[in-house]
């Protein structure tokens, strides 16, 4: 089932390659679309769309991969699919 996930990561998530690594994971997967950006409050925000199973895999790779040591908190909000993305990119606030 197609879904949308909105995620906020807290911890030491800025200045450590978090956005680049998240984008690389999405591009390697090939079927996760959306964006990642730094927020002024020090968190990183991710919005992604795709099959729910693939989005869970995407989040797992972020949570358990190279970024694991930087994440203190992951707030995940599942939303209805909107179909507004055709790639994955780094955005700027």
Report the distance separating Cα 40 and Cα 60, nearest Å.
25
Confidence of residue 93 (pLDDT cuts 50, 70, 90): confident
CATH of the domain at 19: 3.30.70.100
Instruction: Please tell me the pTM assigned to this model.
Output: 0.97
Say if 93 falls within a structural domain.
no
Q: Is residue 76 part of a domain?
A: yes
| Number of domains, the chain | 1
Task: Mark whether 38 is an active-site residue.
Answer: yes
Q: Which of 4, 38, 54, 61 is catalytic?
A: 38
Residue 45: domain span? 2-86
Q: Is residue 61 part of a domain?
A: yes
Catalytic residue, chosen from 4, 19, 54, 61, is 19
Q: Does 66 fall in a domain?
A: yes
**Domain presence at residue 92:** no
The mean predicted confidence, pLDDT, of the chain is 98
- Of 57, 55, 76, 54, the residue nearest 9 (C-alpha): 76
Residue 77 lies inside a defined structural domain of this protein = yes
């Amino acid at each position: 089932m197609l879904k949308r996930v909105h995620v906020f990561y807290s911890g030491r998530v800025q200045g450590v390659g978090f956005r680049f690594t998240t984008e690389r994971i999405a591009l390697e997967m090939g079927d996760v679309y959306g964006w990642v950006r730094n927020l002024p409050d020090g968190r990183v925000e991710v919005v992604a769309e795709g099959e729910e199973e693939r989005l869970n895999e995407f989040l797992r790779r972020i949570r358990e991969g190279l970024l694991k040591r930087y994440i203190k908190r992951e707030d995940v909000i599942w939303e209805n699919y909107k179909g507004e993305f055709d790639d994955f990119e780094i955005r700027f606030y």
